[in-house]
Structure 1
Amino acid sequence: MEIGANTPAVVTGGASGLGEATARALAAKGAKVAIFDLQEEKGKAVAADIGGIFCEVNVTDDASVDAGFAKARAAHGQERILVNCAGTGSAIKTAKRDRNTGEISHYPLDAFNWLIQINLVGTFRCVAKSAAGMMTLDPLTENGDRGAIVNTASVAGEDGQIGQVAYSASKAGVIGMTLPIARDLMNEGIRINTILPGIFETPLMNAAPPQVKDALAASVPFPKRLGAPPEYAHLAMAMIENDYFNGEDVRLDGAIRMAPR
């Protein structure tokens, strides 16, 4: 799909990291971008910088997502592009034994569900609502193209580490729903693909000590460094612009395969 001047787009998690890089890449092509995020100050600053709009959105809440789409569509029109970057992570073992006391505990189910609700259900909520909106649009081409969706999973969805059970489950769910959604929407001219980032320079990663970041970078086969958000955005743009790119889950990780810890 060609990204022309004023093409309406929505990027969840667009206030920072992978989402910000994607929002900027879309705007550079002329798209009118709506940023869905909970970080109001950062989101407004990015939106102002790229000529877009900020919508304070909690992807776990139906009403919040509906309000975000309503605001974005009122400003820019029905989106033809959706990129889902909103998400979070945690590190808790399924069950563990305290080294000092010997006490045994398990992963709090509320915490497990919270992460699933953000990463998996939140992603699907935005996909379903956006796809329904895209279906109201006239096709752009003789092939019937109406829109394109890009989701964000993680290499942890395929080789999760110790303590990543909830995170891995949420991202594996995003991977697993890609092909069925592509099939659901195949007669509507709406494509969907998923990126599985490896270890990237994001705000969360930037908070880690330098020695930790250096060790992680050294574990990448090639190039031996952390991924840069614009590299994620570059792949997202290829998925959007290449009309034959559909139903795929693509690792973007420098060939890394995560060790148990």
Structure 2
Amino acid sequence: MEILREPRERKYQQLRRLGQELKIPTFEAFLELEVRDGSGRTIHHHRQRSHSWVRNAYNQLFCQMAAKDSNDATFGPGKLSGKQTSGTVRGVAYPFGYGESNSVDGTSYGLRAAAGVDTKGIQVGSGTNAESFEDYALQTQIANGTGAGQISYIASELHSISYDAGTKVLRDILIRYFNNNSGGNVNVNEVGIVAYLQGQYNQNYMMSRDKLPATITVPTTGQLRVTYTIQLTYPA
């Protein structure tokens, strides 16, 4: 099932064309979820736009594009700072972004995470709160583990970069698997991506949080695959 509905989708396409024509960077993101049962049969699949970039993502983009240090120890409108998933605000005298000496292709920095690490990378949760621009963490993250209500976080897949010369679209695909060995069903209602980056101190910052249109149930011995596609259209 693909959730990319009109007429909003036409607006996204128009924005992409305008960005290309006017030479304004236009980032887009898509979220795909697939659930397989213990026998390997696909029991759920849907794809939707991930449109829920939060304040952290905007501030990171501005600091990187404007080459500007973060400048305030508070978090909110007009403040160039970052709010960690712990709720701590960081933002004085350092750029809020990625440092030159830290590779983001690995699992230490950036959006990828090692097996069993649930503090960064793609995360899943059971919270049902509506999306908010001020979100800095999942409402109720599902922890890594095999106990009741938990799910096993598998290592993030390698970045998959592709370029479409016809449309001038560059894509990065991020994939993470989650195995349910808890002995019961696990319900997923929210998905997010958390980056480990610099913001006065190197810490975890949520970049996006998506509330799913309906609960997705991962059955016992089942597996969930979450795919984020982040793309940028280059000027014509």
The answer to whether the superposition gives a TM-score over 0.5 is no
TM tier, smaller: under 0.3
More strand by share: 2
More helix by share: 1
Higher relative contact order (CA 8 A, sep 6+): 2
